[in-house]
């Protein structure tokens, strides 16, 4: 009887040891770690990884979707001449490639477009449209001006140069500026001043230049675009600021501009 009890006790002890070995893992230093604690730590790590990955996947999905949507729309529009839209990058590669000749490049694209418009999208920016269509310009600046505000971003960039005047304001402030400007430009004194300035420029500079170019053996070819741009700049500057920048002045020897 005593032997049976000893055998049962030994079996019970062996069973307890096996259960203990299953529940604990012993490292080289002899310290025990619970498998349940290890599983809990792994679950927390997995949850943290999932929390980090979910926003990244969400943002990536929407960026790819937007890029693909923009590409699909622009493929069927004849207004994106010469511009290839890339997923995620949009039209950024084309802008970087032509940054050194941006004005000439964009002008060529607008001229090549049947409706004289160019659309573009760059990551981090809103979709933009550049137009050279006179009907669009009239629609934006005259017919529906109130629907196309410049916005705080544009006015803040130009404030040091234009202040908050007629060309850099929106809404009620623009209406007030326009009312004052229209009153000034309708006054007789201003018109007389403009006539005097233009008459002096024509008689004192434009006509002598044309006579000199057409005189006898000293005939030269004039770049009329350059001549008229200088004439217009001097005239407008004199009217606006009362100062002559002398861009239309000839050198004393007649060999070129001052």
Query: How confident is the model over 98-116, as pLDDT tens digits?
Result: 888 888 888 888 888 888 8
pLDDT score recorded for residue 32: 47
Average pLDDT for 187-206: 86
Tokens 């607008």 belong to residue:
110
Assess whether pLDDT exceeds 70 at residue 255: no
Average model confidence (pLDDT) across the chain: 75
Q: Say if 72 falls within a structural domain.
A: yes
61 and 143 together in one domain: yes
142 and 67 together in one domain: yes
Q: Say if 63 falls within a structural domain.
A: yes
Assess contact for 122 and 91: CB atoms under 8 A.
Answer: yes
Its domain, for residue 201, covers: 188-241
Q: Helix, strand, coil shares of the chain as percentages rounded to 5?
A: 65, 5, 25
129 and 195 together in one domain: no
75 and 131 together in one domain: yes
Q: Say if 254 falls within a structural domain.
A: no
Residue 124 CA to residue 118 CA, distance in Å, equals 19
Query: pLDDT digit string (tens) for 84-102?
Result: 777 778 888 888 888 888 8
- Cα-atom radius of gyration of the chain, to the nearest Å? 39
Q: Say if 4 falls within a structural domain.
A: no
Domain termination site, one of 124, 148, 172: 148
Q: Say if 217 falls within a structural domain.
A: yes
Output the six-digit token pair for 94.
């084309």
Average pLDDT for 62-91: 65
Q: Would you say the pTM of this structure is higher than 0.95?
A: no
Average pLDDT for 4-20: 54
Domain termination site, one of 120, 148, 176: 148
Of the candidates 231, 255, 224, the residue with the CA atom closest to the CA atom of residue 245:
231
Average pLDDT for 21-41: 53
Confidence grade of residue 67 (pLDDT, cut at 50, 70, 90):
low
What total number of domains does the chain contain? Answer: 2
Q: Say if 25 falls within a structural domain.
A: no
Which helix (H) or strand (E) segment holds residue 32: the answer is strand 32-34
What is the DSSP-derived secondary structure letter of residue 204? Answer: I
Assess whether pLDDT exceeds 70 at residue 251: no
Q: Say if 117 falls within a structural domain.
A: yes
pLDDT score recorded for residue 37: 59
Q: Which residues does residue 90 pair with via DSSP β-bridges, in sequence order?
A: 86
Assess whether pLDDT exceeds 70 at residue 76: no
Beta pairing, strands 128-131 & 117-120: antiparallel
Q: Say if 252 falls within a structural domain.
A: no
Query: pLDDT digit string (tens) for 130-185?
Result: 888 899 989 988 888 888 888 888 888 888 877 877 778 888 888 888 887 777 77
């Amino acid at each position: 009887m005593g032997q049976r009890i000893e055998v049962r006790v030994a079996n019970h002890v062996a069973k307890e040891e096996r259960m203990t070995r299953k529940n604990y893992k012993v490292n080289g230093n002899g310290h025990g770690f619970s498998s349940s604690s290890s599983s809990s730590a792994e679950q927390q790590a997995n949850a943290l990884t999932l929390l980090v990955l979910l926003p990244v996947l969400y943002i990536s999905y929407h960026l790819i979707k937007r890029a693909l949507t923009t590409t699909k729309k622009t493929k069927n529009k004849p207004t994106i001449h010469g511009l290839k839209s890339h997923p995620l990058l949009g039209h950024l590669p084309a802008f970087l490639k032509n940054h050194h000749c941006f004005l000439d490049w964009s002008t060529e694209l607008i001229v090549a477009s049947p409706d004289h418009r160019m659309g573009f999208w760059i990551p981090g920016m809103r979709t933009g449209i550049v137009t050279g269509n006179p009907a669009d310009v009239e629609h934006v600046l005259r017919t529906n001006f109130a629907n196309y505000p410049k916005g705080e971003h544009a006015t803040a960039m130009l404030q040091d140069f234009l202040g908050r005047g007629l060309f850099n304001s929106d809404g009620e402030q623009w209406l007030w500026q326009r009312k004052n400007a229209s009153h000034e430009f309708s006054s007789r004194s201003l018109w007389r001043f403009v006539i005097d300035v233009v008459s002096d420029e024509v008689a004192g500079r434009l006509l002598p230049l044309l006579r000199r170019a057409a005189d006898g053996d000293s005939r030269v070819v004039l770049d009329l675009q350059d001549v008229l741009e200088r004439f217009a700049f001097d005239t407008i500057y004199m009217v606006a600021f009362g100062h002559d920048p002398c861009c239309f002045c000839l050198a004393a020897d007649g060999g070129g501009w001052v």
